[in-house]
């Protein structure tokens, strides 16, 4: 748990700039990891303290470093959750911008796909009346390859 907290603290203090998609996705992943473990870690400290008290009651030795970690981990975890909330607030506007960009790209793709479909229907290489179906298919195939290559890049 201590390693998890140290790792997330390092990442959550980094600044994500507008247009930096990779760091935005990475930050969202880190925020998700903190969110996923919040419930588990929040409910973990009391049972561990009770187990240590039980061990002490039966005169079992508990190393001092374990007891020391147990004293400091709740504070560190609370600090990590605060950092996560701050990072989430800072990233929210960037996330909203990326959602808008993805929607815009999706709409543009839908228009291009519709235009391709209409061009294919107008060419109609599979009609019985088609004079040069293979030439038409080659043209459609070339258009399709160009369409896909533009999408991939």
45-55 mean pLDDT: 84
In this predicted structure, what is the pLDDT of residue 153?
A: 45
Q: Is pLDDT above 80 for 121?
A: no
User: Per residue, what are the HEC states of the chain?
Assistant: CHHHHHHHHHHHCCCCCCCCHHHHHHHHHHHHHHHHHHHHHHCCHHHHHHHHHHHHHCCCCCCHHHHHHHHHHHHHHHHHHHHHHHHHHHHHHHHHHHHHHHHHHHHHHHHHHHHHHHHHHHHCCCCCCCCCHHHHHHHHHHHHHHHHHHHHC
For the ranges 76-80, 136-140, 144-148, the one whose mean pLDDT is highest:
76-80
Can you tell me the mean pLDDT for 81-105? Answer: 92
Query: What's the average model confidence in pLDDT over 43-61?
Result: 84
């Amino acid at each position: 748990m201590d390693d998890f907290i140290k790792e997330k603290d390092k990442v959550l203090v980094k600044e994500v700039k507008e247009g930096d998609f990779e760091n935005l996705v990475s930050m969202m992943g880190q925020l998700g990891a903190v969110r996923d473990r919040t419930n588990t870690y929040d409910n973990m400290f009391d049972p561990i303290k009770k187990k240590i008290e039980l061990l002490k009651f039966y005169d079992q030795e508990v190393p001092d470093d374990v007891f020391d970690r147990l004293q400091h981990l709740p504070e560190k975890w609370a600090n990590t959750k605060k950092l996560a909330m701050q990072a989430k607030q800072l990233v929210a506007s960037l996330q909203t911008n990326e959602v808008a960009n993805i929607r815009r790209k999706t709409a543009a793709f839908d228009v291009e796909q519709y235009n391709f479909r209409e061009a294919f229907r107008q060419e109609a290489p599979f009609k019985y009346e088609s004079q040069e179906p293979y030439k038409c298919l080659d043209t459609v195939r070339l258009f399709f390859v160009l369409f896909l290559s533009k999408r991939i890049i």
